[in-house]
Amino acid sequence: MSRPSGPLGDSLRGSLEFPDAHELHPGRHEVLDAVLARGGERIPVVVKKVPLNLRQRLTTPKAMRSLATARGLIARGIATPEPLAAEVVGQESWYVARKLEGAAQIRAWFLHRDDSSRPRPPLPFSFEQVVEALGGMARRMHDKGVFFRDFTDGNILVTSEEGQLRLWLVDLNRARVGDGPVRRLAVYRDLARPGLNRSEDTNLFLSSYFGPGGVPKGALTAVRLLRGRIVIWDAFKAFARPWRR
């Protein structure tokens, strides 16, 4: 895909520059670093580019859905990087958000937990701290009417702000933002998404989610069953569509 520099519509109020040594983030779509030049500012940003298929042309492009979701999350006190623009550029939709400096995917803690030979997470928080924070974020999200639908390891970022752990949601286009608490089945579908492969880790996550009242009867079983289904489905998709990253 092309990486043109220049103006990106009126909503951006500036121009994008893609350095030759830009970072390309892993994922199915092109997600890369850029700089937004606006007035006297040079703002580090991340740009997600998604090819426009027929469905998006007939409904709402993913970039615009991401922008609406980001605004809904921020209004409800759920952290996501500051949204800056959403535009259709040629045959792609582009979503632009402020870059979180020093952020790491929560996946780093999960991979190291499952295999200690993997690199240690880049921030000084324990696996237990991260999982407990994740449970708290999921509960706030659901209480505020957000069914994220893609609550996976690659879509949750960890930062350290003055030594305090903070979690952020990214890759927003599938989320649904409503006005009331999320229904129980949708809750379990979100809770089954993070890559927690040990029962004790899932228990810690659910205990952090449900709080002092304890984990409801059957919740652990429901989440584990849904997790197994997700793993099988992801394996099938990887086999059936090997060209997708």
Domain span at 87: 6-98
The answer to whether residue 77 is domain-embedded is yes
In 3D, which of 172, 7, 218, 165 has the Cα closest to residue 76? Answer: 172
The answer to whether residue 21 is domain-embedded is yes
| pLDDT for position 2 | 37
Cα three-residue angle 91-95-97, rounded to 5 degrees? 155
- The model's pTM: 0.89
CATH of the domain at 219: 3.90.1200
For residues 120-128, average pLDDT: 96
Q: For 19, how many CA atoms within 13 A lie in the half-sphere containing its CB?
A: 14
Structural domain count, the chain:
2
Start-to-end CA distance of the chain, whole Å, equals: 15
- Tell me how far apart the alpha carbons of residues 15 and 9 are, in angstroms, rounded to a whole number: 9
Q: What is the pLDDT of residues 215-231, one digit of tens each?
A: 999 999 999 999 999 88
- Tell me how far apart the alpha carbons of residues 217 and 199 are, in angstroms, rounded to a whole number: 15
CATH of the domain at 19: 3.30.200
Given 98, 117, 145, which residue is the final one in a domain?
98
| Same domain membership, residue 36 and residue 157 | no
Residues 98 and 82 sit within 8 Å (Cβ to Cβ): yes
Write the CA distances from 172 to 100, 125, 141, 202, integer angstroms.
16, 25, 13, 24
| Same domain membership, residue 133 and residue 209 | yes
**pLDDT above 80 for 100:** yes
| pLDDT for position 220 | 93
Given 61, 79, 98, which residue is the final one in a domain?
98
Of the candidate ranges 46-55, 119-128, 194-203, the one whose mean pLDDT is the lowest: 46-55
**pLDDT above 90 for 186:** yes
The answer to whether residue 197 is domain-embedded is yes
